[in-house]
Amino acid sequence: MMTFEAFAQSGYLAYTLSASSRNDLLHHFKPKYPEVKCKHVTVKFPAKSDEELPPAAHEARVIGYEDSGDGIEAVVIEINGSTKRPDGKLFHITLSFDPSKGKKPFHSNELVNKKFTHVSPITIHLTPAFIRHGQD
């Protein structure tokens, strides 16, 4: 069982989306579900606060989109020429989800790793970060 201290120091490594990039994405991909996220790209979960941050995102762009049709939508991200996280899953941003249909942001992992539709690339600006539980 995790102690409170361990939980307080845990979270995930990510890239946070700049405010202007977030606005651009939400303008381009109008959210279809009531809970809008569109804040970060997870790199590693779980992670500890003292772990090394991900490398700088010199080039980041949206290259795909997918909507489940039943409560979750996300975009696929290419960072520094790769779409793959260290765990082999795809880099992505959860755009929106519908909790009344049992959806949570983590469902976007399964969605985009099954399939996605390629879109014309959209450049975005990302910053490496550690995000504590509950601060996303």
**Does residue 107 surpass a pLDDT of 80?**
yes
Tokens 């762009």 sit on residue:
61
Average pLDDT over residues 3-22: 82
* Burial call 61-95: b when 16+ CB within 10 Å, e when fewer: bbbbbbbbeebbbbbbbbbeeebebeeeebbbbbb
Distance set, CA 69 to CA 26, 33, 112, 134 (Å): 18, 10, 13, 27
**Does residue 3 surpass a pLDDT of 60?**
no
The residue among 81 and 5 whose pLDDT is bigger is 81
The residue among 4 and 45 whose pLDDT is bigger is 45
pLDDT band at 133 (very low <50, low <70, confident <90, very high): confident
CB atoms within 10 A of CB 1: 4
**Does residue 7 surpass a pLDDT of 80?**
no
Q: Show the tokens assigned to 1.
A: 């069982």
Phi, psi for 48 (deg, rounded to 5): -105, 155
**Does residue 87 surpass a pLDDT of 70?**
yes
- Cα–Cα dist 49/129, whole Å: 10
- Cα–Cα dist 21/27, whole Å: 10
Average pLDDT over residues 103-132: 97
Contact 57, 79 (CB under 8 A): yes
